[in-house]
Structure 1
Amino acid sequence: MATSVRRAVLTLPAAPLGPENPLPALRPLDQTHSLDQYDERARREFPRDMARQIGYEPLRTVLPVRILDGYGRDREPTGFDAIVIENDRLRATVLPGLGGRVHSLHHKPTGRELLYRNPVFQPADFALNGAWFSGGIEWNIGATGHTTLSCAPLNAALVPAPDGGEMVRLWGWEPLRGLPFQVDLWLPDDSDFLHVGVRIRNPHQGPAPVYWWSNIAVPEDARTRVLAPADEAWHFGYARTLRRVPVPERDGVDVTYPLHAEHASDYFYEVPQAARKWITSLDADGHGLVQTSTDLLRGRKLFLWGAGRGGRRWQRWLTEPDTPGYAEIQAGLARTQLEHVKLDGHAEFSWLESYGPLVADPATVHGADWDAARTEVEGRLESALPRAAVDAAYEAWLPHADTEPGERLATGSGWGALEVMRGAMRGGYQLPGTPFDESMLGEEQAPWVELYTQGTFPKARTPEPPGPTLVAPHWRDMLETAPAEPLTEYHLGVTQWHAGDLAQAVRSWERGLKLASSRWPLLRCLALADREGGNPERAAELYAEAFDDLCRERESDGDGESWTAATTALAREAITALLAADRARDARRIFDRLSDGIRERGRFRLIEVQLLLAEDEKAAARGLFDAGFEVADLREGAQTLNEVWAALTDDPLPEEYDYRMRPGD
């Protein structure tokens, strides 16, 4: 059959994403994916370019993005818009509404699914902004960690492919760095390989930090082996240290078999500059998936959960019982995911990736001779898809990268359209091939359109939690010159905080507070500033005042999803701050004002345990653990459950609460 592209609906048991958290994310969620700043011995061993890129433009916050933490664990059948690209050899299923994730890559002649295909959609707290889900191929752009676009919609359209057929273009605006990007997927007739052309452009005058890792989930069992063209790797784990280690064995364990390791770890392969860039995961019979690319995409990585109880628990948490495990093989612009790469103004990065099946001799692949195993894989890959063919496919794709899209298949958010509108009015942002039409602008962008066109930020028409804050320097400049209304001062303070001007942010929030009828958003920002500044007593007082004001305003406005999200988020922060200031009675007062629906959530069951411990009610706290609860938004690498349990009892941590992934935990 000739290659075809069609729309479809993929139905999965799914937990709803829920509303966005309306509180601006003034702090990053955690430091799980950052290097221990005191690990000086390791830093002295880093290659010069790697050391420079690890220190280049680390992320301060995830602003302007909002946190997604409103999901739960109850799943029901849900339809997701999908795009199916198919020839007589492969069938690729793409989810444009979920970051363009390739959900499935099915090889027809063998009937094999080449990816780990998650049978459910279950958000979990792994992305930079919270909600993330496992499985398939994820396009990670932005900053160290899973992209904020994991659960966000991208634009999608048909574009002529280099071979005369059709390809699917996905494109969007990366909000953390303000960069447009595109992912072009096409499947030549009779080909076993899906080609993916990627381009990231910097439309600004100055340089920008760039991060990209293509994250491929692959099935895993005891005989799964991951191979790449390297004899060394950089090992990174949840202890946040980075060490050069040999491949395939580390401390007597062959870690190219993901289940041989005990603890979750990253292995960033040290691929020689001249070597062909590839990585593969093969089963006991030598069958599996291979990913290869042009040379710009230099990095290759294995992430493994390990065989320990915590890693196995996380795998079950991300899917459903009795589902096979998975590992991740990845490809990126740098050696490691701790690095950001400099992209000059008005410049671009582009490359081509290819994904398809690989069959190699199992005796050699699983033999003791690592060099022979790699040579076997590289030879099979060269026969299936020569390196020269990948380079030729890239050169054939480049002239099509600027082609304007045809039939639209999906629509992304309006934030890119807003930025392009502003840039176009100043004569810049020429982005052929990735249009961000003003028709994409929506209700969330409307206040910012008015700020840009009229010079004023509009007052809220009805009482409601404030909308998102844009933090790029040009928006901060416009807010600084706009009339100093309370809502304007609120947004201005958020932009100043993001820029590192903390004192000025506090002054803006204090100015806004003097005239504000809706006080709680400003009070919450000031409370967080005090907590970050080492003043827990004043922070607790401000949090308590903010929660009282939110309840007052909510009562006058009625109820709704956004108010429930605000109440939930502010209560969580306020109770934590009050307990830190040894004000358990005030924390209890806030907890008791919450609705039954909020108190019954797993996160608030855990908060109630902490409250009971502060009230010296250990028996009641233990009773909540014994009754059982699930914290839907438990953060990757979080130690909260075992820390609270240890404060409660010396008994071993029950398996259902064991998410520990660090050696020694």
Structure 2
Amino acid sequence: MGSVTTIRRDTVTLPAADPGPDNPLPALRPLDEVHRIDDRDRDDLPRDMARQVGYEPLRSLLPVPVRDGYDRGRAPRTTPALVIENDRLRATVLPGLGGRLVSLVHKPSDRELLYRNPVFQPANFALNGAWFSGGVEWNIGATGHTTLSCSPLHAARVPAPDGGEMLRLWEWERLRDLPFQVDLWLPDGSDFLYVGVRIRNPHERPVPTYWWSNIAVPEDCRVLAPAHEAFHFGYERRLRRVPVPEYDGVDRTYPPNSTHPADYFYDLPEGQRPWIAALDGGGHGLVQTSTDVLRGRKLFVWGSGRGGRRWQEWLTEPGTGGYCEIQAGLARTQLEHVRLDAESDVSWLEAYGPLSTPPDGEWSAALREAGERLEALLPRETVDAAHRAWTPYADAEPVEILAAGSGWGALEVLRAGWKLPGTPFAEADLGEAQEPWLHLLRAGSVPEPRRVRPPGCTLVAPHWRDMLETAPATPLAEYHLGVAQWHAGDRAQAVRSWERALELAPSQWPLLRCLAVADREHGHHERAADRYAEAFDDLCRERRDDGELWTAATAALGREAVEALLAVGRTTDARAVWERLRPVTRARGRFRLLEAALLLAEGRREEARAVFDTGFEVADLREGDEAIGRLWERLDGGPLPARHDFRMRPPTT
């Protein structure tokens, strides 16, 4: 007889880095996404995959802000957690950090089924920057890690199909303007955690959709998935079909066997039950399965090379053991987006639990035995039946609110009058970030700020752009309108909006920065440098204090200005910007790297080399970014020091 399933509040205390403020500058530059394939590979793809690879890939982060204010100085921090538990499993969720399932403990064996990161260390892997490793991440939006990785989600207690309770997480995904929910349901006495997921499209048009459940597990394992072929994607951006388990004479289903970071998207045969498992040398580990809608399965490995090992250390603590990722998605690969029809939704059910079966030996035999063991523990029909039972409860209204997310969903629901049963986006959720847009919605104008400060969040969806176009043409309204026009691809009109605003704007630096970005994108690098220098001058005159917001604005604009000035050889002007940055900013690793580049441009090679010798850590180094290595080659030409080696692709010949 199983004990009653409970949901309770708890806390998790970890050595954690300060997440810092968001970047206050709108993300106008093209998306820097490494997961794009060489066009040469498209012709060899299955027709449906090729179509979905080309279906509306994300081209901009707008309206989401970049998150690059975090550091690497960790101190004990306590984070609110929600725990759902029965007598067999204990699942711990962090609603304030993307709803991450950070732990899943099988109580009878006292085994942690996931890789549980012993620290919270953001790194630049999410589409908008800050991301952390470990546990199960709910990836929605577009190719890459979700922009909600380090954001709060709404959470509530809701009725479950068996008469108990579920833990519901929900939010408004802003890149595609879609609401979604994740329901965690642990039936009494069950060895499997059920996770019901629903993505809604309330719009009167189809919308591209993306989902991958990203599961971190200890890398000293063998990964089993019912496939004999996979699509291999490496950081040289090539996608090719390879055999499973052996590729180039190496069994890649053992993560430590790979040298370089890579994705293996398993090509599950039509009609095959979808599942994936990671088992240790003793044959124990985690299995994930689902209803058929979640068709994709993937293995990601960091590899045994220097770059992969350095990233592992970077994301956690050295000596704590590495991890790999097993994943499940809506499409066969993460390079694809799926069409979600107008006024429709898509839903599925996942199950996570322990599996014990011999992982080694001949591939087909290992798969057969694992599949039979899974079917005995959790029949395929049981998962399908659980999905059918859950579906009507997906609309169940919350019994008790346990955590609050953002107010963006409330703003959209208020604007459109949508009814979204089960996922309330209440007016009480509206906050300071939404206030100007609520005023635009109700009064038809953008309010003037009550105090001098950076312009704040901007919205770019067509309906907001339409409202901005009919609002009184104040400088702030023109600024926001220009950002929305830029996002829509109407760049000439965006420039005209920003130029009109300059004539009357009391605060010119946000507009000058937008125009500088436009100049760089159009190849007018000297004019861009002029505008960046002018923008930084104006910001320094306007900034009011040393507080977090102004310091973040100065750092963000200063970095872009120095880079633009160095690009056209104006080292004196770049040095003038550098000297006016706050000391706390200049001490950050990103700016130490920038300082080394500036010193080298000034011909001060030994001083630039000394920056490397002294040591620095670029907290927001981007996945796949080789800027440190390129600068090192210009300085030294010798082997890149191991502490700076984050290269994720094989060396070119």
- TM above 0.5, yes or no, is yes
Which residue matches 2:64?
65
How far did residue 485 of structure 1 move?
A: 0.5
Q: Separation in 2 of the partners of 1:110 and 1:544?
A: 62
AA partner of residue 422 (structure 2): G
- Preserved contact between residue 198 and residue 346 of structure 2 (Cα < 8 Å): yes
- Structure 1 position 276, deviation (Å): 0.2
Following the alignment from structure 1 to structure 2, what is the Cα–Cα distance between the partners of residues 376 and 637?
38
Task: Please list the CA deviations of residues 577-603 of structure 1 after superposition, one character each: whole Å capped at 9, or x if unmatched.
Answer: 000011111101100111211111111
1: CA distance between counterparts of 2:370 and 2:518?
A: 54
2:135/2:216 contact within 8 Å kept: yes
The equivalent residue for 1:613 is 600
Corresponding position: 1:378 with 2:371: yes
Q: Which runs of 5+ in 2 are unaligned?
A: none
Contact 1:280 1:291 (C-alpha < 8 Å) held by counterparts: yes
In 1: Cα distance, 2:171 partner to 2:154 partner: 6
1:452 to 441, 444, 450: 441
C-alpha displacement of 1:558: 2.6
Deviations 1:19-76 (A, max 9, x none): 110000012441311123xx32x21111111111111111111111101100000011
1:323 is aligned, of 315, 320, 324, to 320
Pairing of 1:587-626 with structure 2 (within 5 A): 587-626=574-613
Change (3 A) 1:28 1:288: farther
Q: Secondary structure at the match of 1:577?
A: helix
Contact 2:201 2:343 in 1 (8 A): yes
| 2:124 equivalent to 1:125 | yes
Asked whether the equivalents of residues 159 and 169 of structure 1 are also in contact (C-alpha less than 8 Å), the reply is yes
Q: Tell me what 2:475 maps to.
A: 486
- Identify the residue that residue 142 of structure 2 maps to in structure 1: 143
Match of 1:27 in 2: 29
State whether residues 29 and 129 of structure 1, in contact with CA within 8 Å, keep that contact through their aligned partners in structure 2: no
1:531-562 residue CA offsets vs partner (Å, 9 max, x unmatched): 011111000000000000000001xx233111
Give, in whole Å, the separation in 2 of the partners of 1:294 and 1:250. Answer: 29
In 1, Cα distance between the equivalents of 2:376 and 2:427? 47
CA distance in 2, matches of 1:27, 1:186: 41
- One-letter code of the match for 1:21? N
Match of 2:198 in 1: 199
The one-character-per-residue Cα deviations of 1:161-183 (angstroms, maximum 9, x if unpaired) are 11111110101100000000000
Cα deviation for residue 408 of structure 1 reads 0.5
**Which residues in structure 2 correspond to 1:101-180 (within 5 Å)?**
101-180=100-179
* SS of the residue 2:433 aligns to: coil
**What is the TM-score normalised by the length of structure 1?**
0.97
d(CA) in 2 for partners of 1:47 and 1:117?
37
Paired residue for 2:622, among 613, 629, 635? Answer: 635
Q: Give the CA RMSD over aligned residues.
A: 0.8
**593-602 or 305-314, larger mean C-alpha shift:** 593-602
Per-residue deviation, residues 198-223 of structure 1 (Å, max 9, x unmatched) = 000000000000000000000112xx
How many Å separate the matches in 2 of 1:480 and 1:528? 22
Partner of residue 462, structure 1: 451
2:634 and 2:469 mapped to 1: Cα distance? 48
CA contact (8 A) 2:33 2:144 kept: no
Structure 1 residue 510 corresponds to structure 2 residue 499:
yes
- Residue number in structure 1 paired with 2:381: 388
Partner of 1:293: 290
One-letter amino acid of the counterpart of residue 637, structure 2: D
Tell me the residue number matched to 1:531: 520
Task: Name the SS of the counterpart of 2:395 in structure 1.
Answer: coil
SS of equivalent to 1:268: strand
Q: Whole-Å Cα distance in 2 between the matches of residues 53 and 484 of structure 1?
A: 40
What does residue 407 of structure 2 align with? 414
1:615 maps to a residue whose letter is E
Match of 2:77 in 1: 78
- Which letter does structure 2 place at the counterpart of 1:329? I
SS in 1 for 2:36: coil
Asked if structure 2 preserves the Cα contact closer than 8 Å seen for 1:27 and 1:60, the reply is no
> What amino acid does structure 2 have at the position aligned with 1:273?
E
State the distance in 1 between where 2:58 and 2:490 align.
15
In 1: Cα distance, 2:122 partner to 2:635 partner: 29
Per-residue deviation at 1:317?
0.2
Equivalent position to 1:358, from 355, 363, 371: 355
Structure 2 residue corresponding to 1:12, chosen from 11, 14, 17: 14
Matched residue, 2:391: 398
Tell me how far apart the structure 2 counterparts of residues 166 and 593 of structure 1 sit (CA, whole Å).
56
The 2-side partners of 1:26 and 1:255 are apart by 39
| In the alignment, structure 1 residue 230 sits paired with structure 2 residue 227 | yes
CA distance in 1 between counterparts of 2:301 and 2:584 reads 37
8 Å contact from structure 2 (residues 29, 517) kept in 1: no
Percent identity reads: 69
The 5 Å alignment of 1:308-319 reads 308-319=305-316
Give the partner amino acid of 1:453.
R
Alpha-carbon contact 1:492-1:508 (below 8 Å) kept: yes
Moved over 2 A (4+): none
Aligned partner of residue 533 in structure 2, secondary structure:
helix
Shift of 1:647: 0.5
